[in-house]
Structure 1
């Protein structure tokens, strides 16, 4: 196989397993200082993992005695990790249902600046009554409505990122002009649920458009996913069919024209998203798993590498690993799995610091407003 797969990990508390924080290797206090997440991101970066996603939701975690019932804000956590890393992409989950689209795009653009062009986001929605009650802004809506709105949020974010041309900031002290107002454009965007007018308050991000990802965990998310840069596809059941459906939806959207002003193929990069618990000892692995959650792979590194090769043959562009424990499984991913994938030529070299778009082989989008003036 000539193409190289994208590699990603998920950072979620102490790990995807709800009892991960109880392991003897974990300092529970480090979950809320961000040190646990920082250590995982740095280990993954050193190994050459391309990006990390950060789990989040508007709903509070369940208040269960033996589980962590709090979590750090994903966007804030990514911003904490950005200055302490220099290669790995950082994509926090942001729920758009009850948040203002203008502030969402400004936050993502700011993360792109803080990370020197490694920022992005996982766009998510909420249909729960709990989140609606907490925010108090409106009543819960069906999944189809929330994902339709998410498509508009992604679209207007790209418009707002383009509202500043790349050379709008001139910093001309001789004339006292900091910006060229002719290179800042007015966005007039109206959707069924919100209206945006005016330019962004943040200049155009280093990547032009930070990377937008969507987790395709319900059928209603398909259209939004088809317009994303990355799609996280949970689980491996009927993988080939689901990959084909995403590609078909992407081609159908707007007649297959490039998304968001991006030159290049219309289809997003698809990453199969799998929960993993890595242990060569079957008895130890079963003990750690404890039947508490469904994992896609429980076992050794060699078998997981075999599976990743099979998933690549099914048409995915990469793998998004959700480790059961950050302290136990991320070191195994970094020290054993990633080198094995590299030896099998499934992934590329570690690479140098640079933008996430360059790392993923995605072109920097042209500015739609600058183009319209030419």
Structure 2
């Protein structure tokens, strides 16, 4: 098979302490620094020196109920990235923010400000929030149903897009001699009235360097795929096999084309959590060392949250009771639930084997091997149409990321699969995405040609 001409997209997906659920217990981890901004500034500078595309922070407006066993508190990502932008120049920043628990005007202003602060390096990971307990943090009696959240999310994206376009690119004149600062007929109220929102506008900050942040989405349900194909410019996804990854990749690209979009302008990025060592045996032993630190009570609760399968009180060294598994199959309406069922069907694990299987990446692909083996795996998925790149999920910080940068990236560069240096300064440049025209681009073009 001939090699694809483009380069890999590689983000560093930074999770509190690391992605393995027991990372905070590992001897080289620094859990006391989870709320220390200097840690993330070090990571950002290191990732930028390695020419990675972006740092990605997941987020949820709720505290994990199992904080007793796992380090899952976190800094708010938009605020954090403002501090990281100040100590970097090129690397992108992708922040998660919920369409269910933000207001469009506030979020549009925050992201536009961050795009200005960073010089155009921002992406928005659009989520509707699955955590039901978040509702009571915002004065709601109940969490909105799945379908309602996606319908609200559609309108939310429409509103913020209008707000980001409410200033034409040439609205600011700043003519000191005449005293004219801005052409007010180039700044527009959006006058939005919809099912969920009524927003007058305009935004109180001018159009940002990228026009708008890169739109990122992580849902793989039927609603999520439709939403992503319509809006997303990068899609974060989880797959255990190359076959399922290829099927997802082809489906998303075809759906996007159905919306009249260029499929090349949508980057499909599965997660990969690599345990890297000098030999395969050492890498396998390293993963096993992490799994030995798992607290089963935490893992079983995570499994129940994803699938509804309650295995508490059972012997974890025996096979999963098939009746409990089958009882949830008809309700597997989330992509992550289906992924877990696929693992069970394919591997028939014991309860312990299953929770170890999920401990490293919550359903994302976990690999244990040498730098060469990890590079081989990445190359295979890339050239065989399963991915445009990857979210690299270090099992622990900062050593897990260091091993990838020092060991795997030089091999990918030698194979001409990853950049030697940045070719632009914005996240859109890194991803090979165009700067979107504003809603008023035609008016601006007419003025320019007059």
Q: May I ask how many residue pairs the two structures share in their alignment?
A: 366
Contact 2:249–2:268 under 8 Å retained in 1: yes
Residue correspondence of structure 1 range 190-205 to structure 2 within 5 A: 190-205=193-208
- Whether 1:18 and 2:21 are equivalent positions in the alignment is yes
Q: 1:199 to 1:64 in 2, by over 3 A?
A: closer
Single out whichever of 360-369 and 280-289 deviates more from structure 2. Answer: 280-289
- Picking from 287, 290, 293, the partner of 2:289 is 287
Work out the CA distance in 2 between the residues paired with 1:42 and 1:289: 30
Work out the CA distance in 1 between the residues paired with 2:428 and 2:410: 23
Work out the CA distance in 1 between the residues paired with 2:415 and 2:195: 49
1:211, distance to aligned residue in structure 2 (A): 0.7
SS in 2 for 1:7: strand
Single out whichever of 108-117 and 288-297 deviates more from structure 2. Answer: 288-297
1:315, distance to aligned residue in structure 2 (A): 4.0
1:131, distance to aligned residue in structure 2 (A): 0.6
1:265, distance to aligned residue in structure 2 (A): 5.1
Work out the CA distance in 2 between the residues paired with 1:173 and 1:137: 50
Work out the CA distance in 1 between the residues paired with 2:381 and 2:206: 39
- Whether 1:234 and 2:305 are equivalent positions in the alignment is no
Q: 1:341 to 1:60 in 2, by over 3 A?
A: same
- Cα RMSD of the aligned pairs, angstroms, is 2.0
1:330, distance to aligned residue in structure 2 (A): 0.6
- Whether 1:88 and 2:88 are equivalent positions in the alignment is no
SS in 2 for 1:368: coil
- Picking from 227, 250, 258, the partner of 2:256 is 250
The ranges of structure 1 where at least 4 consecutive aligned residues each deviate by more than 4 angstroms after the TM superposition are: 264-267
Partner of 2:266: 268
1:352, distance to aligned residue in structure 2 (A): 5.1
1:304, distance to aligned residue in structure 2 (A): 1.4
Work out the CA distance in 2 between the residues paired with 1:86 and 1:355: 9
- Picking from 325, 336, 359, the partner of 2:396 is 325
Residue correspondence of structure 1 range 334-353 to structure 2 within 5 A: 334-351=405-422
SS in 1 for 2:177: coil
SS in 2 for 1:304: helix
Deviation digits for residues 133-186 of structure 1, max 9, x if unmatched? 111146312222212322222232222111111121222233333222111112
The structure whose Rg is larger is 2
Contact 1:48–1:350 under 8 Å retained in 2: yes
1:88, distance to aligned residue in structure 2 (A): 0.8
Partner of 1:306: 376
Deviation digits for residues 274-307 of structure 1, max 9, x if unmatched? 2333234122331124337044212322211111
Work out the CA distance in 2 between the residues paired with 1:107 and 1:241: 36
Contact 1:357–1:364 under 8 Å retained in 2: yes
Partner of 1:56: 59
SS in 1 for 2:56: strand
Unaligned runs of 5+ in 2: 293-355
Unaligned runs of 5+ in 1: 259-263
Q: 1:266 to 1:223 in 2, by over 3 A?
A: farther
1:38, distance to aligned residue in structure 2 (A): 2.1
Work out the CA distance in 1 between the residues paired with 2:271 and 2:222: 16
Work out the CA distance in 1 between the residues paired with 2:291 and 2:376: 21
Contact 1:119–1:211 under 8 Å retained in 2: yes
- Report the TM-score, using the length of structure 2 for normalisation: 0.77
Partner of 2:331: none
Contact 1:5–1:346 under 8 Å retained in 2: yes
Partner of 1:70: 73
Work out the CA distance in 1 between the residues paired with 2:415 and 2:291: 28
